[in-house]
């Protein structure tokens, strides 16, 4: 639901000159998305929307361009430092535990990194399940895509 709503927000911002959060909320309501202003504000922050001149003396929301891979990794490190408590694995599955309410922010930044070893993530309130591409026999140490992804996630927790 959140992912669908955020995709819709990106589409609306790309297709319309949205000047306020209230205007965005009205458009979302018209399209069947029941959201509050607080939800819109969080979504806009996660999507890193910014205000740009609209060419008519006002401003509008726009999608941030020119985000480098380094920017994404730095952002992921900050989010991991703030939210992630632990990382564990079982075969092709990786489980991240976060502080309460932190899982969605962590999952969003992991998904944004778009690592090829990862199929996707499922976030709850304080936990994230990450699925990797290949099935592995039960071992004490991860191998293949799971090992690569686990190393990357653990590296984000280091300073």
* Percent of all residues in the chain with a pLDDT value above 70, rounded to a whole number: 94
- Can you spell out the DSSP letters for 61-85? EEE-----HHHHHHHHHHHHHHHEE
Sorted by sequence, the CB contacts under 8 Å of residue 4 that are 6+ apart come out as none
Helix axis angle, 69-83 relative to 103-113, nearest 10°? 160
Mean of pLDDT values over 60-79:
82
Task: Based on the fold, state whether residues 80 and 58 are members of the same structural domain.
Answer: no
Task: Based on the fold, state whether residues 80 and 99 are members of the same structural domain.
Answer: yes
54 or 131, higher pLDDT: 131
Task: Based on the fold, state whether residues 88 and 153 are members of the same structural domain.
Answer: yes
Task: Based on the fold, state whether residues 59 and 97 are members of the same structural domain.
Answer: no
- At 123, list the tokens: 């976030």
Strand partners of residue 93? 90, 131
Given a cut of 80, whether residue 33 has pLDDT beyond it is: yes
Task: Based on the fold, state whether residues 40 and 76 are members of the same structural domain.
Answer: no
What is the overall mean pLDDT for the chain?
85
Mean of pLDDT values over 67-73:
80
> How many domains is the chain built from?
2
Task: Based on the fold, state whether residues 54 and 73 are members of the same structural domain.
Answer: no
Mean of pLDDT values over 67-88:
87
Give Cα 98 distance to the centre of its chain.
Answer: 14
Mean of pLDDT values over 61-83:
83
Report the C-alpha gap between 99 and 120 in whole angstroms.
21
Task: Based on the fold, state whether residues 90 and 152 are members of the same structural domain.
Answer: yes
Identify the three-state secondary structure at position 117. coil
pTM for this structure? 0.54
Q: Residue 136 maps to which CATH number?
A: 3.30.1360.40
The residue segments making up the domain with residue 83 are 69-157
């Amino acid at each position: 639901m959140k992912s669908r709503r955020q995709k819709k927000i990106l589409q609306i911002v790309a297709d319309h000159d949205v000047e306020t959060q209230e205007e965005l909320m009205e458009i979302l309501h018209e399209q069947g998305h029941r959201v509050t202003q607080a939800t819109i504000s969080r979504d806009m922050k996660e999507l890193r929307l910014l205000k740009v001149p609209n060419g008519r003396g006002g401003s509008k929301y726009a999608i941030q361009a020119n985000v480098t891979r380094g920017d994404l990794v730095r952002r992921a490190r900050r989010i991991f430092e703030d939210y992630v408590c632990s990382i564990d694995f079982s075969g092709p599955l990786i489980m991240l535990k976060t502080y309460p309410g932190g899982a969605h922010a962590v999952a969003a930044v992991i998904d944004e990194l778009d690592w090829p070893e990862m199929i996707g993530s499922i976030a709850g309130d304080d936990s994230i399940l990450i699925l990797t591409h290949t099935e592995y026999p039960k071992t004490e140490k991860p191998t293949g895509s799971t090992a690569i992804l686990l190393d990357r996630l653990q590296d984000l927790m280091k300073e």
